[in-house]
Chains A and B, each alone.
Chain A
Amino acid sequence: MSRVALKIVGAQGQGVNSIGEICAKGLKRAGYCVFGYREYMSLIKGGHSCYQLDISDCRIGSSETKVNILVALNHHGLNKNAGEVKDSGIIIHQTPQWEFPSDADADLRKRNVTVLYLPAEDILKKIKGKAILGNMLTVSAVWSLLGRDADDLKKLVREQFERKGEELVQMNFRCIDEGVTFIHDVVGAGHALPIQPIALPPANSQLKSNMLITGSQAMGLGLIRGGCRFYAGYPMTPASPLLTFIADAQNDTGMVVKQAEDEITAAQMMSGAMYMGTRAATGTSGGGFDLMTETVSLNGIVENPSVFILAQRPGPGTGLPTWTAQGDLLLAIGSAHGEFARCVISVSDAQDCFDLMPEAFNIAEEFQTPVIVMTDKHIAEGLFTQERFDQEKTKIRRGNLITDPKQLKKLKSHDRYDPATTDGISPRWLPGADAATYCAQGDEHDAEGAVNETAKNAAAQMEKRMRKMEALKKMLPEPTLWSVESARLPPACRQGRAGQGKWKVANDDSELDLLVVSWGSNKGAIRDALATFGFQLSVGYLHYTYLWPIKTDRLQSLMKKAKRTVLVECNAQGQLGMVIKMASGIDIKDRILKFDGRPFFCDELSSLLSAAPAIRHP
Chain B
Amino acid sequence: MIMLIPLEYNGPKMQDYRCSAQCTWCDGCGDYGIWTAVKRALVELRIAPNQVCLCFDVGCHGNGSDKLTGYRFHGLHGRVIPFAAGAKLGNMKLPVIAFGGDGASFSEGIGHLVHGIRSNYPITFILHNNANYGLTLGQASALTRQEQKMNSSPNGIPEHTLNSMDMVFALEPTFVARGFSGDIPQLTKIFKAAIEHQKHGFAFVDVLQACPTYNFFATHEYLLGKCYDANADGHNPRCEPSKARALAINTSEKIATGILYQCEDAPNFYERLKPRNGKKTTLVEEVKECDVEEFMKKLV
Residue ranges of A at the interface with B (Cβ–Cβ < 8 Å): 209-213, 217, 221, 224-227, 229-230, 232, 249-258, 260-262, 264-266, 268-280, 294-295, 298, 302, 358, 388-389, 391, 394-396, 398, 413, 430-443, 445, 449-451
Contacts and interface: CB of A to CB of B under 8 A. Distances in A.
Interface of A: prevailing SS: mixed
B290 A227 contact: yes
Contacts of A302: 73, 75
Contact of B89 (A250, A256, A261, A445): A256
Given A437-B50, A445-B66, 7 more contacts: A261-B111, A265-B82, A271-B86, A275-B87, A432-B91, A440-B72, A449-B72
A391 B87 contact: no
27 contacts: A211-B299, A225-B292, A230-B89, A255-B275, A256-B276, A258-B89, A261-B114, A268-B75, A271-B75, A272-B83, A272-B84, A274-B90, A275-B83, A276-B86, A276-B87, A388-B296, A396-B287, A413-B69, A431-B71, A432-B53, A432-B71, A432-B93, A433-B50, A434-B50, A436-B50, A438-B71, A438-B72
**Nearest 8 A-B pairs (CB), nearest first?**
A272-B86, A269-B86, A276-B90, A431-B71, A272-B87, A268-B82, A450-B66, A211-B299
A229 B86 contact: no
Contacts of A225: 289-290, 292
Interface stretch (B160-168, B206-214, B278-286): B278-286
Contact of A439 (B50, B72, B270, B292): B72
Nearest to B49: A437
A437 B67 CA distance: 12
B86 A443 contact: no
Interface string B267-279: 0001001111001
Contacts of A274: 86, 90
Contacts of A295: 76, 79
Interface in B1-44: 19-21
Nearest to B80: A268
A293 B40 CA distance: 37
A295 B75 CA distance: 9
A272 B162 CA distance: 29
Given A276-B53, A295-B79, A227 B279 contact: no
A430 B284 contact: yes
Interface in B75-101: 75-76, 79, 82-91, 93-94
B152 to A, nearest CB: 22
A275 B73 contact: yes
B122 to A, nearest CB: 12
A213 B295 CA distance: 11
Contact of B289 (A260, A272, A391, A441): A391
Contacts of B70: 437
A279 B293 CA distance: 20
B75 A298 contact: yes
Given A295-B79, A437-B70, A451-B63, A277 B50 contact: no
Contacts of B273: 256
A39 B82 CA distance: 36
B283 A278 contact: yes
A439 B286 contact: no
B31 to A, nearest CB: 15
Interface residues of B, number: 59
B265 interface: no
B291 interface: yes
A545 B295 CA distance: 26
B288 A441 contact: no
Interface of B: 19-21, 49-51, 53, 55, 58, 63, 65-66, 69-76, 79, 82-91, 93-94, 111-112, 114-115, 270, 273-276, 279, 282-284, 286-296, 299-300
B51 A432 contact: yes
B89 A273 contact: yes
A443 B56 CA distance: 11
Contact of A229 (B65, B270, B286, B292): B286
Contacts of B73: 272, 275, 302, 439-440, 442
A431 B287 contact: no
A450 B294 contact: no
A276 B66 contact: no
Residue among A256, A298, A388, A435 facing the most chain B CB atoms (10 A cut-off):
A256
Nearest to A212: B299
A271 B80 CA distance: 11
A541 B246 CA distance: 71
A269 B74 contact: no
B287 A278 contact: yes
Contacts of B65: 439, 441, 451
Contacts of A436: 50
B50 A278 contact: no
Given A268-B79, A396-B288, A439 B74 contact: yes
Nearest to B17: A437
A206 to B, nearest CB: 13
A353 to B, nearest CB: 12
B253 to A, nearest CB: 37
B14 to A, nearest CB: 15
B82 to A, nearest CB: 4
A442 B76 contact: yes
Contact of A264 (B82, B90, B293): B82
A270 B175 CA distance: 25
Contacts of B21: 450-451
B299 to A, nearest CB: 4
Contacts of B275: 250-251, 253-257
B288 A272 contact: no
Nearest to B65: A439
B299 A273 contact: no
Contacts of A261: 111-112, 114-115
Contact of A389 (B20, B91, B93, B292): B292
Contacts of A257: 275
Nearest to A354: B292
Contact of A249 (B53, B72, B295): B295
A275 B79 CA distance: 15
Contact of A395 (B86, B289, B296): B289
A278 B290 CA distance: 14
Given A256-B283, A298-B76, A430-B284, A273 B289 contact: no
A306 B89 CA distance: 16
A276 B87 CA distance: 5
A221 B295 contact: yes
A396 B290 CA distance: 10
Contacts of B270: 256
Contacts of A439: 65-66, 72-74
B284 A278 contact: yes
A258 B270 CA distance: 11
Contacts of A273: 86-87, 89-90, 283
A229 B115 CA distance: 22
B299 A396 contact: no
A442 B63 CA distance: 11
A254 B276 contact: yes
B75 A442 contact: yes
**Among B112, B279, B292, residue most surrounded by chain A Cβ atoms (within 10 Å):** B292
B79 to A, nearest CB: 5
Given A230-B90, A277-B284, A443 B74 contact: yes
A229 B49 contact: no
A396 B286 contact: no
Contact of B115 (A265, A438, A449): A265
A252 B91 CA distance: 20
B292 A276 contact: no
Contact of A396 (B20, B82, B289): B289
A391 B283 contact: no
A209 B82 CA distance: 43
Nearest to A251: B275
B86 A230 contact: yes
Contacts of B86: 230, 232, 268-276, 280
Contact of B83 (A268, A413, A450): A268
A389 B297 CA distance: 11
